Homo-oligomer: A and B are copies of this chain.
Amino acid sequence: MSKLTTPHGNGSLNPLLAPEEERKSVLKRAERLRRVPMSSREVSDLLMLAMGAYTPLTGFMGAADWRGCCTDMKTADGLFWPIPITLSCESDLADGITVGDEVALVDAAGTIFGTLEVAEKYVIDRAFECSHVYRTTDVAHAGVEKVMRQGTVNLAGPVIALNEGQYAKTYPGLYYRPAETRALFQDQGWTTVAAFQTRNPMHRSHEYLAKIAVEICDGLLIHQVLGALKPGDVPAAVRVASIDALVANYFVPGTVVQAGYPIEMRYAGPREALLHAVFRQNFGCSHLVVGRDHAGLGDFYGPLDAHHIFNEIDKGSMEIQPLKIDITFHCYRCGGMATGRTCPHGEEDRLNISGTRLREMFANGEQIPMEYSRSEVLDVLRAYYDDVE
């Protein structure tokens, strides 16, 4: 039996989803509890807790863990954790909740996703969190804006998850929990697995990144964000279809597993790259591909900040290793795909198409060069863009 990377915190996976047979009775109890509404990001964190992706966390963090994660990327117990996982609520609602109460956690539509046993109520300095985690308090940053406009009181305590939302039904054969990806990797006989995080269709530059990972690991996990994205992003279903087309035509069978997971991006750049690594370890991965401006947004982070932060954390913070790859592109003088580390030529020799320019090319029906994207991928995207116009 192949030996995969141990779950984070050196124990076993800790999914917080109630066992099927208990769910009904807990739900019945929850229906009579006071309801705490969650933001879409909080729902996505609860789903990550539910599936075991946030192992070994047992729920939403208290004040000491929150502060430790902000300042030192460690919980009060010394566990490495780069971004606090918290639940906020408005102060008038919080006033009616007493420590020791159990509350029901609901999404914007009122669906119960779980319960929280309130162990702590506390008020945070939201700007303090943002300046540590996001390196900015500028509300033009979508992740920061969500923190700054969240409720003023945080509720903390152990969680029981009751609901995994629509993902499993919407993406059959894609929504895999950490125990399931581990089983898939074991079935393939893999020991080392690189995770490739994506929230976009994969063009040739992404394919190239992924193939470098295939060279040095037993297998590749193409791991798609199924949670909420930025406006203008291609919908998950279209992206999935385009990635399917790429994998079917340009990857060797038996080297790739595809999966999706329910996080909502924070766009916290380097700190989020660390979080991406930690939970990929739970999914059974030994490596995380960290490209240029990983989990970044606009110009908020330097293009290699997410590479550098892996050198700044204590050794032994996690088992998984970053696979740091510079910017990738087609270079006409190299006559092939290359990266900033392997191509000595100038910008004038390199093919660069921005996301905006690409959308414009689709809109105008312009020919997109085969050096930029596979025709099979472009066909899928073209059908989508033709539809939305």
Residues of chain B within 8 A of A371, CB atoms compared: 335
Known: A255-B341, A341-B255. A250 touches B334 (CB 8 A): yes
Any B CB within 8 A of the CB of A231: no
| Interchain CB contact under 8 A, A325 and B253 | no
A62, chain B: closest CB distance, angstroms = 39
Contacts of A323 in B (CB 8 A): 216
Question: In the assembled complex, which residues on chain B have CB atoms less than 8 Å from the CB atom of A336?
Answer: 335-337
Copies of this chain, complex-wide, total 2
* Contact flags A237-258 to B (C-beta < 8 A → 1, else 0): 0000000000001111101000
Known contacts A216-B216, A216-B323, A335-B371; A211 and B250 CB within 8 A of each other: no
Chain B residues with CB below 8 A from A370, complex form: 335
B216 with A343: CB separation less than 8 A? no
Closest to A326 in B: B215
Segment 91-127 of A: residues with Cβ below 8 Å from B:
none
Q: A346 CB to closest chain B CB, in angstroms?
A: 12
Residue on B with the closest CB to A323?
A: B216
- Check: A212 CB closer than 8 A to any chain B CB: yes
Chain B residue with minimal CB distance to A338? B211
Please tell me if the beta carbons of B250 and A341 are within 8 angstroms of each other in the complex: no
Give the Cβ gap from A85 to chain B, nearest Cβ, in Å.
31
User: Closest Cβ of chain B: how far from A339's Cβ, in Å?
Assistant: 7
> A-side interface residues toward B, CB under 8 Å?
211-212, 214-216, 249-253, 255, 323, 325, 334-344, 370-371
Selected A-B contacts with CB under 8 Å, 28 pairs:
A211-B338, A211-B342, A212-B212, A212-B215, A212-B216, A214-B341, A214-B342, A215-B325, A215-B339, A215-B341, A215-B342, A216-B216, A250-B334, A250-B343, A250-B344, A251-B342, A251-B344, A252-B340, A252-B341, A252-B342, A252-B343, A252-B344, A255-B341, A255-B342, A335-B370, A335-B371, A336-B336, A336-B337
